[in-house]
């Protein structure tokens, strides 16, 4: 697959309906979904993704895909290759509190399902989507960055950093949490910096992961052990920044010992580990999801704490909603980027994302409580929730995107 770089393609391609900026998992899924829905679509990405190869070490960045995301990827015709390439199904989730031992357990069988979700590599999802773009008729421009844009009466004009220009009816910003397009559109954000880093690595454990996503809440932040297809677990260990830097600097043996203690040896000793990486964690919600002829989606619109493993799932729900709203506008014979159309997308997704993001934030705050009466109340509350099947079903259904 060669990136589309030719000047002629940039200047003389067919008139575009949609220009998607950012070809991460969310932007690539958006471009594919919109092209499949019959919209003339271009995808602009600053950096060519590295090819995913089965023989390579498992990418350190993995996500838990909820059933709603799997359904969308399946609809787009890419799920079977992702699943066959390397996807770790998890059928149970066990979340427990280091301070009180109170636990909540989810079991797919109780929901009548084979699994709760799949742990997959970001690079595999992105690469599989990219491979499907050409056949769907998406014009790929890579490397490409938007330097400026102007919304006009019937189109939006994009000036690219290399001096080229492009026009489309709608501009979709899927350019990540730092979204340059969001800034160009003058859209602010609110939220908070958790002053934490998420330390990630893959580890081999003494005991099997039992196709279970484990998460232990510790005073410094949650530690998740997510089951990989190859039998290892992928960890996301949220720690205060200084503590995270200390953990990153440990030698392998000391790291494995500390991780074993932090995981309460739930899977026994940690017997092997890959190199580690870390990502800053923050809550960030865009003040608006739409501007004239522009919408935000994915992390450009919302970045959330990874404790619920929902970031990309929210982004893929944005994709499905945007496609449906644009299809309805086209069927009604109107301008797909009319303000009322974009407002419909923005209203639906922003309220859903905000509720989720604030819910995850509330969880992070509750688990940060250290005062003994509050800790006791938390333990009681969690034990109570675990004994309330209807509430658990509701939570599981929500996480699944139903
Ligand atoms: C430690 C950690 C663990 C996580 N675990 C989970 C999990 O279990 N489940 C889950 O759902 N989510 C998880 N997430 C969140 C998830 O990784 C993100 O929500 C997701 O990657 C966002 O995808 P995106 O496509 O919106 O943005 P990105 O992946 O950031 O992609 C943005 C793309 O835009 C491109 N770009 C940027 N600027 C420009 C420009 N000017 N022009 C052109 N292109 C540009 C970038 O190169 C990039 O390719 C986790 C996050 C972290 C940090």
Interval between CA 302 and ligand 1 midpoint (Å): 10
Closest-CA residue, ligand 1 atom 12, reads 311
Tell me, in angstroms, the distance from the centre of ligand 1 to residue 281's CA. Answer: 12
The whole-angstrom separation of Cα 155 and Cα 140 is 20
Q: Is 267 left (phi over 0), alpha (psi -120 to 50) or beta?
A: alpha
**From the CA of 206, how far away is ligand 1's center (Å)?**
32
63: how many CB neighbours lie within 10 A of its CB? 25
In this prediction, residue 390 carries a pLDDT of 75
In the prediction, which pLDDT does 8 show? Answer: 33
Spell out the domain ranges in the chain: 7-365
C-alpha to C-alpha distance for 116 and 68, rounded to whole angstroms = 11
Which are the contacts of 90, defined by CB distance < 8 A and separation ≥ 6?
64, 115, 116, 117, 118, 119, 211, 212, 213, 226, 227
Cα–Cα distance for residue pair 96/105, rounded to 1 Å: 9
CATH class of 7-365: alpha beta
| 12 CA from centroid of ligand 1 (Å) | 31
Nearest CA to ligand 1 atom 1: 198
**pLDDT value of position 14:** 59
How far is residue 64's CA from residue 89's CA, in Å, rounded to a whole number? 9
Residue nearest to atom 28 of ligand 1 (CA): 176
370 CA distance to ligand 1 middle (Å): 32
Ligand 1 pocket check: which of 281, 299, 317 to mutate, most ligand atoms within 8 Å of Cβ? Answer: 299
pLDDT single digits (tens) 338-361 = 999 999 999 999 988 888 888 777
How confident is the model over 117-171, as pLDDT tens digits? Answer: 999 999 999 999 999 999 999 999 999 999 999 999 999 999 999 999 999 999 9
Give the chain's residues under pLDDT 70. 1-14, 391
The distance in angstroms from the start CA to the end CA of the chain is 36
Q: What is the pLDDT of residue 310?
A: 86
How many angstroms separate the alpha carbon of residue 299 from the centre of ligand 1?
Answer: 6
| Tokens coding 190 | 């609110």
Q: What is the C-alpha to C-alpha distance for residues 335 and 360, in angstroms, rounded to an integer?
A: 36
User: How close is the Cα of 173 to the center of ligand 1, in Å?
Assistant: 12
Give the whole-angstrom CA distance, residue 197 versus residue 174: 23
Q: Pocket around ligand 1: residues whose beta carbon is below 6 Å from it?
A: 21-27, 44-47, 63-64, 122, 145-146, 174-176, 180, 198, 200, 236, 279, 298-299, 306, 309-313, 315
């Amino acid at each position: 697959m060669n990136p589309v770089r030719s000047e002629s393609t940039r200047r003389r391609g067919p008139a575009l309906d949609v220009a998607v900026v950012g070809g991460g998992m969310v932007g690539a899924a958006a471009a594919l979904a919109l092209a499949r829905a019959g919209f003339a679509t271009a995808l602009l990405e600053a950096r060519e993704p590295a090819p995913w190869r089965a023989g390579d070490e498992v990418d350190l960045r993995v996500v838990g895909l909820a059933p709603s995301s799997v359904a969308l990827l399946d609809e787009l015709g890419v799920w079977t290759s992702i699943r066959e390439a390397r996807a770790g199904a998890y059928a149970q989730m066990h979340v427990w509190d280091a301070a009180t031992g109170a636990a909540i357990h989810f079991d797919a069988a109780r929901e009548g399902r084979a699994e709760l979700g799949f742990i997959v590599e970001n690079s595999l999802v992105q690469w599989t989507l990219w491979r499907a773009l050409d056949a769907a008729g998406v014009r790929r421009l890579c490397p490409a960055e938007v330097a400026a844009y102007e919304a006009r009466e019937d189109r939006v004009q994009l000036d690219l950093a290399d001096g080229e220009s492009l026009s489309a009816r709608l501009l979709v910003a899927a350019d990540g949490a730092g979204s340059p397009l969001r800034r160009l559109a003058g859209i602010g954000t609110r939220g908070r910096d958790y002053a934490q880093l998420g330390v990630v690595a893959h580890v081999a454990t003494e005991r099997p992961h039992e196709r279970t996503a484990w998460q232990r809440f510790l005073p410094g932040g949650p530690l998740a052990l997510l089951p990989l297809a190859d039998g290892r677990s992928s960890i996301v260990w949220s720690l205060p920044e200084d503590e995270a830097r200390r953990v990153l600097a440990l030698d392998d043996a000391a790291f494995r010992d500390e991780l074993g203690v932090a995981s309460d040896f739930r899977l026994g000793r940690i017997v092997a580990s890959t190199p580690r990486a870390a990502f800053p964690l923050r809550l960030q919600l865009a003040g608006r999801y739409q501007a004239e002829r522009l919408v935000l989606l994915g992390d450009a619109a919302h970045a959330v704490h990874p404790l619920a493993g929902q970031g990309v799932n929210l982004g893929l729900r944005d994709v499905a909603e945007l496609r449906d709203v644009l299809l309805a506008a086209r069927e009604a014979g109107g301008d797909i980027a009319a303000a009322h159309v974009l407002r419909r997308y923005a209203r639906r997704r922003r309220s859903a994302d905000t509720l989720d993001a604030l819910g995850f934030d509330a969880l992070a705050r509750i688990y940060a409580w250290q005062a003994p009466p509050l800790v006791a109340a938390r333990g009681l509350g969690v034990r109570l929730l675990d004994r309330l099947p209807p509430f658990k079903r509701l939570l599981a259904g929500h996480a699944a995107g139903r």
